[in-house]
């Protein structure tokens, strides 16, 4: 006889929450629904029209601008999360809110929900539970658990997490009260014969009991400082903390680090408890570790850069060698490519510059399961070198997605969104290191009466060039002149249109002079267009 199959009831929490939201929206009640994942938020908002036929909403002028920027950035309206009707109105009745929305998409979705004549429902992930002030009269929490990527399973929410989400009900200055409805992740059984109720009921009661559910806040520095005090610093977060401690240029090089640690929350708690000895012993241990790090006998300006950036002296010296050997010359894309190729010589070095969680979010589960940092670094660098030129030439995100996946069916371009919203910031950090090294070395040289090294405009602006998706100081200047009123894609198109009218600049000119040259070129183009 085969294994007996068992069945059990499930709460079907997401569908139930959507159905309740549809009923409340039909009554004109603003409803915020918290779901567990981005996928669920998008699916619920996309299918909401099947539950409730909402009247069409006409976008305001600013909302249309946000929409236009998002469409241009993505490369088409089909890649945006919000789908408008053919006449440009929106009749879906609900929108999503999560960490993969572009800035303009987030503004648009929030604006539609805030408007009295806008949409009635917002399906959100926990990104919205951290204090956003939206006019929700009802908050529905679809499940008292969330997916924990570290444990690869659902975990019961802590009391403060549920209450933080529940706190979105009502709005200061408009509504002092709101209704909170929790749909449990498990069906709570009740045995009428015995009068017994499922023990999950006690979990919910403990969350919403009358006592004050204050969260005990601790400082992560407490554990790290204890670890530094009892043992040598060899790696991990303790070593990272020590490397980030700032150094001062005065007589006492550790003044800045000592002041920072003495003003930490960990020190405050110890001082409150009358434990001054703990503060002094931990600070001295951290400063001793700092003194041992990075050849303290020849400590100098490089250590100051290391302390302010968190990058090891060894890695900074590697970049300095590239600079001194003339290997970081050329166009912006050539320089950042050379930096990444240098990192690729020791692939796991990538994780010293790019936050691991950003790479894990970019490449997914298969990347996280790679057995070593070296293999993760190799895969990450290969992909970044492949797609960075597209980003810096201001190609839309759908093209970046197709280029990486090799597929024409790219959905909402999850990979490209993760790259633009998370990883680009880390790449901009890498791009800014050569200039920081040169600036610090020049400052030290001036104090010593030594000649300084002029900094090429490409290097001084490289961090902003990468961050803004540009390919040169001139295109960056054009982008900044346009401001945030147009997309990265259109800004590059405008730059190419005015480029023939922009005078050539000096390789070492101040960026203010670059912007002035570009302004003159834009003015000439505008004059010719008006004349036509």
CATH code: domain of residue 146? 3.40.50.300
For residue 152, name the pLDDT band (cuts at 50, 70, 90).
low
Single out the residue in 276, 293, 310 at which a domain terminates.
Answer: 293
pLDDT surpasses 70 at 517: yes
Q: Quick one: 177 and 245 in the same domain?
A: no
* 195 SS3 class: coil
Per the model's pLDDT, the better-predicted residue between 394 and 370 turns out to be: 394
Per the model's pLDDT, the better-predicted residue between 452 and 108 turns out to be: 108
The answer to whether residue 278 is domain-embedded is yes
What separation in angstroms does the CA of 216 have from each of 81, 213, 219, 275? 38, 9, 10, 19
Q: What is the mean pLDDT of residues 486-495?
A: 95
Q: Quick one: 223 and 129 in the same domain?
A: no
DSSP state of 154: E
The answer to whether residue 506 is domain-embedded is yes
Q: Quick one: 233 and 157 in the same domain?
A: no
Q: What is the mean pLDDT of residues 451-470?
A: 95
Q: pTM to 2 decimals?
A: 0.80
Per the model's pLDDT, the better-predicted residue between 149 and 123 turns out to be: 123
Per the model's pLDDT, the better-predicted residue between 476 and 32 turns out to be: 476
Q: Quick one: 225 and 183 in the same domain?
A: no
Give CA–CA dist 124/100, Å, rounded: 11
Q: What is the mean pLDDT of residues 489-511?
A: 95
Number of domains in the chain: 3
Q: Quick one: 202 and 112 in the same domain?
A: yes
Closest CA to 486 of 474, 469, 511: 469
Contact indicator for 511, 461 with CB cutoff of 8 Å: yes
Instruction: Give Cβ neighbours of residue 22 (< 8 Å, ≥ 6 apart).
Output: 48, 51, 52, 93, 121
Q: What is the mean pLDDT of residues 246-274?
A: 85
The answer to whether residue 189 is domain-embedded is yes
Give CA–CA dist 240/28, Å, rounded: 52
The answer to whether residue 306 is domain-embedded is no
Q: At what angle do helices 103-114 and 61-74 cross, to 10 degrees?
A: 150
Q: Quick one: 190 and 270 in the same domain?
A: no
Phi, psi (deg, nearest 5) at residue 96: -105, 160
Q: What is the mean pLDDT of residues 386-398?
A: 95
For residue 296, name the pLDDT band (cuts at 50, 70, 90).
very low
Q: Is 43 exposed, middle or buried (0-12, 13-18, 19+ CB in 10 A)?
A: middle
Q: Quick one: 163 and 275 in the same domain?
A: no
The answer to whether residue 344 is domain-embedded is no
Contact indicator for 430, 336 with CB cutoff of 8 Å: yes
Single out the residue in 207, 231, 255 at which a domain terminates.
Answer: 207
The answer to whether residue 467 is domain-embedded is no
Phi, psi (deg, nearest 5) at residue 408: -85, -25
Single out the residue in 207, 233, 252 at which a domain terminates.
Answer: 207
Q: Quick one: 112 and 42 in the same domain?
A: yes
Q: Quick one: 188 and 54 in the same domain?
A: yes
Closest CA to 286 of 300, 311, 302, 266: 266
pLDDT surpasses 70 at 360: yes
Phi, psi (deg, nearest 5) at residue 34: -95, 125
Give CA–CA dist 337/510, Å, rounded: 24
The answer to whether residue 493 is domain-embedded is yes
Contact indicator for 524, 501 with CB cutoff of 8 Å: yes
Instruction: Give Cβ neighbours of residue 52 (< 8 Å, ≥ 6 apart).
Output: 22, 23, 25, 26, 93, 120
* 190 SS3 class: strand
The b/e string for 394-422 (b: 16+ C-beta within 10 A; e otherwise) is bbbbbbbbbbbeeeeebebbbbbbbbbbb
For residue 157, name the pLDDT band (cuts at 50, 70, 90).
low
Q: What is the mean pLDDT of residues 493-521?
A: 95
> Distance from CA of residue 530 to its chain's centroid?
41
Positive or negative, the Cα torsion across 368, 373, 379, 382? positive
Q: Quick one: 244 and 284 in the same domain?
A: yes
The answer to whether residue 356 is domain-embedded is no
Q: Quick one: 231 and 158 in the same domain?
A: no
* 179 SS3 class: strand
Domain of residue 523 covers 472-531
For residue 396, name the pLDDT band (cuts at 50, 70, 90).
very high
Instruction: Give Cβ neighbours of residue 191 (< 8 Å, ≥ 6 apart).
Output: 197
Q: Quick one: 117 and 248 in the same domain?
A: no
- The tens digit of pLDDT for each residue in 198-256 reads 665 555 555 555 445 555 678 888 888 888 888 766 556 677 778 778 777 667 778 88
| H/E segment holding residue 145 | strand 145-148
138-142: strand order across its sheet: 94-97, 121-124, 31-34, 138-142, 179-183
- The tens digit of pLDDT for each residue in 106-140 reads 999 999 999 999 999 999 887 654 545 677 888 88
The chain-wide mean pLDDT, for the chain, equals 84
The b/e string for 238-259 (b: 16+ C-beta within 10 A; e otherwise) is bbebbbbbbbeeeeebbebbbe
């Amino acid at each position: 006889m085969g294994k007996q199959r068992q069945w059990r009831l499930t709460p079907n929490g997401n569908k139930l929450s959507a159905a309740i939201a549809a009923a409340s929206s039909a009554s004109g009640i603003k409803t915020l629904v918290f779901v567990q994942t981005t996928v669920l938020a998008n699916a619920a908002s996309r299918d909401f029209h099947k539950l409730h036929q909402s009247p069409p909403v006409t976008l305001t002028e600013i909302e249309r601008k946000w929409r236009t920027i998002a469409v241009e950035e993505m490369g088409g309206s089909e890649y945006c999360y919000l789908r408008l009707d053919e006449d440009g109105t929106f009749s879906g009745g609900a929108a999503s809110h999560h960490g993969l929305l572009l800035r303009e998409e987030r503004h648009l979705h929030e604006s539609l929900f805030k408007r009295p004549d806008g949409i009635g429902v917002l399906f959100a992930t926990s990104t919205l539970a951290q204090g956003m002030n939206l006019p929700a009269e009802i908050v529905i929490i679809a499940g008292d658990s969330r997916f924990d990527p570290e444990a690869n399973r659902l975990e019961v929410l802590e009391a403060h997490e549920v209450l933080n989400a529940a706190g979105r009900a009502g709005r200061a200055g408009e509504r002092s009260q709101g209704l909170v409805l929790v749909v449990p992740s498990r069906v709570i059984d009740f045995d009428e014969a015995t009068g017994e109720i499922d023990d999950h009921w006690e979990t919910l009661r403990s969350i919403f009991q009358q006592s004050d559910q204050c969260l005990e806040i601790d400082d992560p520095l407490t554990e790290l400082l204890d670890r530094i005090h009892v043992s040598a610093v060899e790696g991990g977060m303790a070593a990272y903390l020590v490397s980030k401690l700032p150094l001062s240029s005065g007589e006492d090089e550790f003044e800045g680090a000592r002041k920072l640690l003495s003003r930490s929350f960990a020190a405050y708690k110890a001082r409150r408890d009358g434990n001054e000895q703990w503060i002094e012993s931990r600070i001295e241990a951290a400063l001793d570790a700092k003194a041992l790090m990075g050849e303290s006998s020849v400590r100098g300006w490089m250590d100051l850069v290391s302390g302010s950036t968190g990058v090891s002296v060894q890695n900074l010296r590697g970049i300095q060698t590239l600079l001194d050997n003339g290997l970081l010359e050329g166009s912006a894309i050539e320089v950042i490519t050379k930096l990444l190729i240098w990192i690729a010589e020791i692939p796991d070095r990538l994780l010293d510059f790019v936050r691991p969680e950003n790479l894990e979010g970019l490449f997914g589960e298969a990347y996280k399961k790679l057995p070593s940092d070296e293999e993760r670094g190799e895969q990450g660098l290969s992909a970044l070198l492949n797609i960075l030129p597209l980003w810096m030439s201001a190609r839309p995100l759908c093209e970046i997605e197709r280029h990486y996946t090799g597929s024409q069916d790219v959905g909402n371009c999850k990979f490209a969104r993760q790259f633009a919203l998370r990883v680009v910031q880390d790449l901009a950090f890498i791009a800014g290191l050569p200039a920081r090294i040169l600036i610090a070395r020049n400052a030290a040289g001036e104090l010593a009466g030594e000649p300084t090294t002029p900094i090429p405009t490409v290097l001084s602006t490289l961090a902003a060039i990468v961050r803004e998706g540009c390919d040169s100081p001139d295109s960056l200047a054009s982008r900044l002149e346009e401001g945030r009123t147009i997309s990265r894609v259109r800004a590059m198109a405008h730059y190419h249109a005015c480029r023939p009218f922009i005078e050539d600049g000096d390789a070492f000119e101040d960026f203010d002079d670059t912007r002035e040259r570009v302004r003159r070129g834009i003015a000439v183009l505008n004059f010719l267009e008006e004349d036509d």
